[in-house]
């Protein structure tokens, strides 16, 4: 036989020489949950992940940077929640204070702020609610789109004012990127990029995050504004295209693993950086299987992250970031 692909798999050096996909800590974004309490609170449904105080969030950012991870994304859990999510856009809100602290003490870290209201509303939805006439059941309540745009714009400006390097709107409101871009520009933050959660599905994989952030909806569901998992590629392209037209600087697909096909379609269609969110449920599945001895955690995590990169992600938001960075460092020591 002339054609023997196994020749190039014979040794670790040959396999490394011929790899198409590289995994590096610089491609990771480390998520940090920040609450207003002292110390940290472990999240039962996400083994190894905790809610952190502001001081703890600073230490998390410092650890990430030391491991070669240049970016973190912040999620806030305020003590006070209300129907309008006012703590999301308060100048002294938990994310604003955490951003200032991290930028002051770990200036080399890129701080991305989740620009949403679900962690701040007492009903768990991503904006003020309204009732849809003549609709019964859980879909009768939804987020009132246009009033939410103003609140998102105010949130983004307050986050940028606090020092956020990137704002990341995740509500799936129609027109959110355009409203945020206009508000940032008017406030003088023309240099602040928007990382749009452009293609975000109404997914069962968010369960542990909602436990962590206290954002489980108390009424209705998110299917009226997040995307249908069976919506297909056309809907994903439409959503992404609208965000590009409105000024998005990067696009995101969320979740990652169940939507690798969608990630590949966006990578092929657009020339913007594409981010994948390896979400809480995907993380917890591996952690639970590893704790039960069903799978090798290290190998499974690195293989999973490699698959996301292979599908086209330029960067990955992942709760595995710190562990994966340590393992990659050991592999290249």
Tokens 């108390």, residue located: 218
Q: What single-letter DSSP state applies at residue 80?
A: -
CA distance 203 to 307: 20
DSSP 83-134: TT-GGGS-TTSHHHHHHHHHHHH-TTSEEEEEE-STTTBTT-SSS-EEEPTT
Instruction: Please tell me which residue in 103, 254, 264, 287 is annotated as part of the active site.
Output: 254
Q: To which H or E segment does residue 30 belong?
A: strand 28-35
Residue 204's nearest CA partner among 280, 124, 264 is 280
Strand pairing class (41-42; 50-52)? antiparallel
Give the separation between CA 301 and CA 308, rounded to whole angstroms: 11
By CB atoms closer than 10 A (0-12, 13-18, 19+), residue 149 is buried
Q: What is the DSSP letter of 138?
A: G
81 is catalytic: no
d(CA 216, CA 199): 20
320 half-sphere exposure, CB direction, 13 A CA radius: 27
Helix (H/G/I), strand (E/B), else coil: 317:
strand
Bridge partners, 51 (sequence order):
33, 41
- For residue 277, CA distances in Å to 101, 217, 244, 323 come to 25, 21, 19, 16
Which SS3 state, helix, strand or coil, does residue 169 take? Answer: strand
* Known catalytic membership, residue 254: yes
In a 3-state reduction of DSSP, which class is residue 331? helix
Catalytic option among 81, 103, 200, 287: 200
**What residues are annotated to the active site?**
200, 254
């Amino acid at each position: 036989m002339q054609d023997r692909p196994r020749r190039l798999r014979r040794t670790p050096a040959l396999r490394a020489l011929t790899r198409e996909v590289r995994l590096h800590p610089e491609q990771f974004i480390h998520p940090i949950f920040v609450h207003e309490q002292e110390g940290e609170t472990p999240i039962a449904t996400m083994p190894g992940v905790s809610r952190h105080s502001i001081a703890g969030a600073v230490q998390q950012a410092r650890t990430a940077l030391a491991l070669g991870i240049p970016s973190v994304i912040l999620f806030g859990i305020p003590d006070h929640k209300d129907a309008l999510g006012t703590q999301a856009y308060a100048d002294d809100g938990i994310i604003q204070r955490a951003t200032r602290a991290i930028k002051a003490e770990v200036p080399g870290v890129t701080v991305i702020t989740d620009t949403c209201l679900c962690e701040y509303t007492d009903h768990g939805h991503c904006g003020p609610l309204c009732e849809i006439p003549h609709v019964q059941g859980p879909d009768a309540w939804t987020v009132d789109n246009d009033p939410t745009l103003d609140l998102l714009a105010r949130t983004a400006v307050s986050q940028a004012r606090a020092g956020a390097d990137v704002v990341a709107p995740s509500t799936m409101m129609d027109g959110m990127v355009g409203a945020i871009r206009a508000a940032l520009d008017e406030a003088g933050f023309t240099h602040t990029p928007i990382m749009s959660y452009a293609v975000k599905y109404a997914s069962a994989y968010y369960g542990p995050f909602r436990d962590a952030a206290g954002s489980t909806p108390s009424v209705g569901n998110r299917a009226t504004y997040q995307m249908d998992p069976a919506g297909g590629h056309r809907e994903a392209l439409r959503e992404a295209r609208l965000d590009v037209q409105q000024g998005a600087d990067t696009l995101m697909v969320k979740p990652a693993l169940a939507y690798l096909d969608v990630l590949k379609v966006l990578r092929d269609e657009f020339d913007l950086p594409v981010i994948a969110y390896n979400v809480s449920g995907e993380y917890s599945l591996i952690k639970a299987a590893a704790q039960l001895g069903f799978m090798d955690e290290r190998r499974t995590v690195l293989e999973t992250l490699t698959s996301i990169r292979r599908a086209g992600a330029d960067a990955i938001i992942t709760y595995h970031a710190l562990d994966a960075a340590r393992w990659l460092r050991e592999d290249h020591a």
